[in-house]
Amino acid sequence: MLSHMINLHNVTKTYPPNTVAIKNVSFEVKPGEFVSIVGQSGTGKSTVMKLLIAEELATEGQVKIGGWDITRIRSAAVPALRRQIGVVFQDLKLLPSMTAYENVAFALQVVGAPSQRISEVVPQVLKIVGLEDKTDRYPIQLSGGEAQRVVIARALVHRPKLFLADEPTGNLDTLNTREIIDILTKINSFGTTVVLVTHNREVVNQLRRRVIAMDHGEIISDQENGKYTL
Amino acid sequence: MFLSLARVSKLALQQFHRNLWLSIATISLLMLSLLSINLIIVLGAVGQAAKLAVQDKIDVSVYFKSKVDNEQVEEIRADLLKLNEVSAVEYIPKEGSLARFKERHKDDPVILESLQELNENPFGATLAVKAKDSEQYPRIIAFLEDAKYEDLIEEKNFDDHEFVIKKINALMRNIRTFGLTVASIFGLIAILVVINTVRVAVYTHRGEIGVMRLVGASNWFIRGPFLFEALIFSFTATVLTAAVVYLGFNFAQPYLNNLFEGIKLSLTSYYNSNAATIFGLQFLAIFFLTAVSSFFAVRRYLKV
């Protein structure tokens, strides 16, 4: 049994010439946990996310995902890492020329999944996010909340063990925010580890899960059943 | 493997179709580059044909002294034919030289009478020597200036042709230099055009590349559609260029026939006999260029 899904040990990320994005950050996340990373803009939350998907490499320290040391991961190994992680960003990154179904299926096609599996899995995940009746809509024909749910569906098709969401409710109203958080909670209930990066106080306080607070690139608090206290 | 190839091909065709105008623009620019290269090839072929035609009209005539008998001249002819530079040696015996002289001056009774008064054939045999290339005449002349031939040869008329030959050689060298310079400039322009066109094509797909990276597509799966697209662009551009070139030949041939009266020059035949090499190399060059350009253009977006 894996003891930690995420393990960051004394991680520092410096951008040239000398901008320190995060400094000596250490935390662990157990499999099946739901963790929120909170903080104001520019406190290093997104840098942590980028390190977890190897979009950036740590300047110092050690980063492990599911026991795999990705601190100095080779470029060729990055796809294998990302197939095990579901990622959701605020800016969606949906392909406008593809329907909701095609956007989700695309994630499986590019990793060589058989067509039969694609036609089984894609409707399932679209049903989980409540879009089973809007599969043939293009992103432009969907509301902000619906488009974000397509992104979540796309991140789920690989059946990832780890689900990362960077400000997934940033552009959404209260109702849509509530729906997205409900979906994330549902995903977590299936046993998937969820890391949510947000600066939405209301969301964090309603979740009542573990909260890691960051400020000026450092962790200032780490609480079980925490609240947004900044 | 087969599934990935099929999906890569499908993605490439989708990219081609969804950005049809960009695809058409890319192919057009590739065609313009290829047409420029073909223009240089045609100019080279026309220049070469003109050079051969002029060369064909030039020879070096070696006039032997009248005391030299035909057997000696035949021996020298055999020696000349052994030279690598020599393509043909025409032998005109003493009698032939006399007959030629009479024919040339048939309208001049004074000369013909003087000839009769001599009571003997004053002409020696003549050898008309043709070189394989006009640049090689000086070497043939050097061979004939050997001491052992000095007493046998009355005159060599190379001096008459030397000026013309030098002019032709200089002209051909200039044409070759000009052709190479123009081809280099066109080639450089073609390379820059192709690189930038591919960069624009890749730029329009940066969204797809970002999503592919995010969901764990391998680098080769991301590069695949662009390589396949480069293959489609290169193949289409080469085929269309070949069509335009042959259409152009049909149009230009009557004008070329008028321009080079007496010279047999069929561009269609020239291309037909070299089509596989000409268009094969052009296809490979343009595919290599587009593939390498896309490799570097995509690499920029793979860093995410």
Whether residue B179 lies inside any domain: the answer is yes
Comparing CB atoms, the residue among A97, A109, A154 nearest residue B7 is A109
Contact B208 A154 (CB under 8 A): no
Residues B251 and B284 in one domain: yes
DSSP code, position A110 = T
Check residue A147 and give its pLDDT: 92
- What ipTM describes this predicted complex? 0.77
Whether residue B160 lies inside any domain: the answer is no
Residues B286 and B203 in one domain: yes
Give dist(CA B254, CA B13) in Å, integer. Answer: 41
Give the tokens for residue B91: 């032998």
Cβ-in-10-Å burial (0-12, 13-18, 19+) of A173 comes to exposed
- What is the pLDDT averaged over residues B155-159? 70
Query: Which positions in chain A touch B15 (Cβ < 8 Å)?
Result: none
Residues B137 and B174 in one domain: no
Whether residue B59 lies inside any domain: the answer is no
Check residue B207 and give its pLDDT: 82
Say whether pLDDT at A159 is over 80: yes
* pLDDT band with cut points at 50, 70 and 90 for residue A230: low
DSSP code, position A218 = E
End of a domain among B121, B151, B181? B151
Give the tokens for residue A91: 């800016």
DSSP code, position A172 = -
Say whether pLDDT at B216 is over 80: yes
Whether residue B277 lies inside any domain: the answer is yes
Closest residue in B to A77 (Cα) is B218
Whether residue B267 lies inside any domain: the answer is yes
Residues B46 and B174 in one domain: yes
Residues B233 and B127 in one domain: no
Q: pTM here?
A: 0.67
Contact A93 B302 (CB under 8 A): no
Say whether pLDDT at A1 is over 80: no
Whether residue B204 lies inside any domain: the answer is yes
Residues B118 and B244 in one domain: no
Residues B127 and B79 in one domain: yes
Residue with structure tokens 């240089």? B40
Residues B70 and B46 in one domain: no
Whether residue B60 lies inside any domain: the answer is no
CB A63 within 8 A of CB A52: yes
Helical residues (DSSP H) of chain B, grouped into ranges: 2-18, 20-56, 70-81, 94-104, 109-118, 137-144, 147-150, 158-203, 206-214, 219-259, 267-301
Say whether pLDDT at B96 is over 80: yes
CA-closest candidate to residue B53, choices B273, B277, B257 = B257
Query: How many domains are contained in chain B?
Result: 2
Residues B207 and B253 in one domain: yes
Residues B204 and B72 in one domain: no
Query: Which positions in chain B touch A110 (Cβ < 8 Å)?
Result: 7, 212, 215-217, 221-222
Check residue B160 and give its pLDDT: 62
Give dist(CA A169, CA A158) in Å, integer. Answer: 22
Give the tokens for residue B197: 């066109």
Helical residues (DSSP H) of chain A, grouped into ranges: 45-52, 78-82, 100-109, 115-128, 144-156, 174-189, 201-207
* pLDDT band with cut points at 50, 70 and 90 for residue A218: very high
* Residues whose CB is less than 8 angstroms from the CB of residue B220 and which lie 6 or more positions away in sequence, other chains included: none
Q: Which amino acid is at B65?
A: K
Contact A82 B214 (CB under 8 A): yes
CB A183 within 8 A of CB A159: no
Contact A82 B215 (CB under 8 A): yes
* Residues whose CB is less than 8 angstroms from the CB of residue B304 and which lie 6 or more positions away in sequence, other chains included: A55, B210, B213, B214
Query: Which positions in chain A touch B213 (Cβ < 8 Å)?
Result: 78-79, 82
Residues B81 and B213 in one domain: no
Say whether pLDDT at B304 is over 60: no
- What is the pLDDT averaged over residues B175-203? 81
Query: Which positions in chain A touch B207 (Cβ < 8 Å)?
Result: 93, 95-96
Q: What is the CATH number of the domain that holds B100?
A: 3.30.70.3040
* Residue-range definition of the domain harbouring residue B260: 2-54+168-301
Residues B136 and B174 in one domain: no
Check residue A58 and give its pLDDT: 95
Query: Which positions in chain B touch A96 (Cβ < 8 Å)?
Result: 207
Residues in chain A: 230
Give dist(CA A87, CA A200) in Å, integer. Answer: 19
Query: For a pLDDT cut of 70, what percent of chain A falls above it?
Result: 98
Say whether pLDDT at B23 is over 90: no
State pLDDT tens for residues A61-76. Answer: 999 999 899 999 998 8
In the three-class reduction of DSSP (H, G, I as helix; E, B as strand; rest coil), residue A223 is classed as strand
Closest residue in B to A110 (Cα) is B217
Whether residue B161 lies inside any domain: the answer is no
CB B201 within 8 A of CB B19: yes
Domains by residue range for chain A, with CATH: 1-84+161-230 (3.40.50.300), 92-159 (no CATH)
